[in-house]
A = this chain, B = another copy of it.
Amino acid sequence: MYPIELFSVSKHTVKEAKMGAVIHCIACWEPYKSPFTFFPSFSTHRSHSSPLPPKLAMAPSEPLSLTPVQDSPLFDYPRLDQQLIHTIAYDALVWSSLHGLLVGDKSVQRSGSVPGVGLVHAPLALLPTPFPEKQWREANELAPIFNELVDRVSLDATFLQESLSRTKKADEFTSRLLDIHSKMLQINKKEEIRLGLHRSDYMLDEKTKSLLQIELNTISSSFAGLSNLVTELHRYILSRHGKLLGLDSKRIPANNAVNQYAEALAKAWSEYNNPRAVIMIVVQAEERNMYDQHFVSDVLREKYNITTIRKTLAEVDHEGEILPDGTLFVDGQAISVIYFRAGYTPIDYPSESEWSARILMEQSSAVKCPSISYHLVGTKKIQQELAKPGVLERFIENKEEIAKLRKCFTGLWSLDDSNIVRKAIERPELFVMKPQREGGGNNIYGDDVRKALLKLQKEGSLEDAAYILMQRIFPSNSAAILMRNGCWHKDRAISELGVFSTYLRNKDKVIMNKQSGYLMRTKISSSDEGGVAAGFAVLDSVYLT
């Protein structure tokens, strides 16, 4: 997944100021009176991974009783001296350049296809964001439990097919995935080596401070490479400026995501047991987040002497074949592990060629990360099903684990739940309507929820609607200094914690099952007057409080 929409800021092209937010350019030291339209919206391919902060989408007539949080004096970043911020920002930009904390610049045409061209530092939080240690531990403890849950659910073909049967009608993409799943059932395809590189994303609820799961990514979990570097960068910044800031670099937890992802891939390669085989990364033709992926390949080569190749779905279709023994050959090379960094959105399948590639790979003996069943477990609908009473018990025996999982579940309901629909019409500010389909889409907030539900009710099409209802999360917010394209900007921001996890099983033997680093993403919790969301997300790390 590639959630960051980059943009370009030309030095002296500043749009009309709407909000009076000040953006500082490292180059000219001139504060920019800039609107938030300066920063385009941040979106992930899963729309619900970026719920809108409450004050953005609130209809002015329906104020929520949100108490602004008082930051501890430590994290009162707004009080920081401009000169100090400037110095730290300069250091951060240099560090990012020397250490590869980079992405392709959207404004440069070839930056998504040619490495080394059109590079720009990754969008960054200048300083780490405070996060309570208790909830941090909870999130980490959940990682192996979710790993196990994904694996068990993936084995229950009936549960998957039945749960997704209605989604299948509403969403062509899920329907195609289910077809592949059915086909594999028909040919009795066995997946003995099962590799999961997941990332579970959470937000902290403002009032209760409880950890709420936003989504569980089972395909193409991104930023193992760069999040690692952001943590190193923040530790470096605090080692240099921590005394002045009153912050201790040791309070930033270690982040070894890239090595752990590489380790899991290497071990899967090893289980497959063909020394001549390579790992294939399935990629999008244009990928501005390519360096994140290259760092994983770099560790695979340097530490494990394993070659990776990069192929688009279309290339796999053209160059791939399966030998009688099940071995996948692409471009003349045997493939041991298929690591998907594409294929999670309908956009990745512009023609039948891409679907053929997906089926070809699924039929092969290569380890898939993920297999079609792991992919399906990550759908919103399955997340919703698992949250229903009694469902977790079908997969997990341990009562404590069930309690831990349930505690982080955000309310998710389908529109055939008339109680919830009634509640949502009464108190739309407590809900978000989300499209069923994968691959992102526009969420519905505020009074529009009421309107949409009433319309569907009137049409009698609630049950077949391609939407679900989700509990509206009111996330904690804190001060942040966000950097993008060489400029920095102080604002209130909300953060989302992603916990990477790795799981590897060969037949009955569980080889790996652990938390494997983290990703913190932070974005501005403001809006322009139009009420339209204007997020601007940056990579961040955690400062334990």
Contact = CB atoms under 8 A, between A and B. Distances in A.
Contacts of A108: 108
A291 B116 CA distance: 14
Interface string A85-116: 00000101110111110100100111001111
A27 B286 CA distance: 10
Contacts of A291: 94, 97-98
B294 A114 contact: no
Contacts of A294: 94, 97-98
A250 interface: no
Contacts of A109: 10-11
A304 to B, nearest CB: 14
Closest 6 CB pairs of A and B: A116-B121, A93-B116, A119-B119, A114-B486, A93-B115, A98-B100
A118 interface: yes
Contact of A99 (B94, B100, B113): B100
Interface string A113-130: 111111111000000000
A118 B121 CA distance: 9
A227 to B, nearest CB: 15
A298 interface: yes
A11 B111 CA distance: 11
Given A105-B118, A116-B121, 18 more contacts: A25-B110, A25-B114, A26-B113, A27-B110, A90-B115, A93-B116, A94-B298, A97-B100, A97-B291, A97-B294, A98-B100, A99-B100, A100-B100, A102-B116, A102-B119, A117-B121, A117-B485, A119-B120
Most chain-B Cβ atoms within 10 A of its Cβ — which of A92, A99, A110, A291? A110
Contacts of A261: none
A113 B295 CA distance: 27
Interface string A482-517: 000110000000000000000000000000000000
Interface in A50-100: 90, 92-94, 96-100
Interface of A: 10-11, 25-28, 90, 92-94, 96-100, 102, 105, 108-110, 113-121, 240, 291, 294-295, 297-298, 301, 485-486
A12 to B, nearest CB: 9
A236 to B, nearest CB: 9
Contact of A97 (B10, B26, B27, B116): B116
Contacts of A295: 98
A306 to B, nearest CB: 12
7 contacts: A27-B110, A28-B113, A105-B118, A110-B486, A115-B486, A119-B119, A119-B120
Contacts of A110: 11, 25, 27, 486
Contact of A27 (B10, B102, B114, B486): B114
A98 B225 CA distance: 11
A9 to B, nearest CB: 9
A99 to B, nearest CB: 7
A333 to B, nearest CB: 12
Contacts of A486: 110, 114-117
Contacts of A28: 113
Contact of A113 (B27, B105, B116, B240): B27
Contacts of A297: 94
A291 B99 CA distance: 11
A289 to B, nearest CB: 12
A7 to B, nearest CB: 13
A11 B112 CA distance: 12
B120 A96 contact: no
A301 B91 CA distance: 12
Contact of A26 (B105, B114, B118, B301): B114
Most chain-B Cβ atoms within 10 A of its Cβ — which of A26, A98, A110? A98
A10 B294 CA distance: 24
A117 B115 contact: no
Nearest to A294: B94
A28 B298 CA distance: 24
Contacts of A240: 301
A460 to B, nearest CB: 52
A221 to B, nearest CB: 20
B94 A115 contact: yes
A291 B98 CA distance: 7
A120 B113 CA distance: 13
Nearest to A487: B114
A114 B115 CA distance: 21
Given A110-B11, A110-B27, A115 B100 contact: no
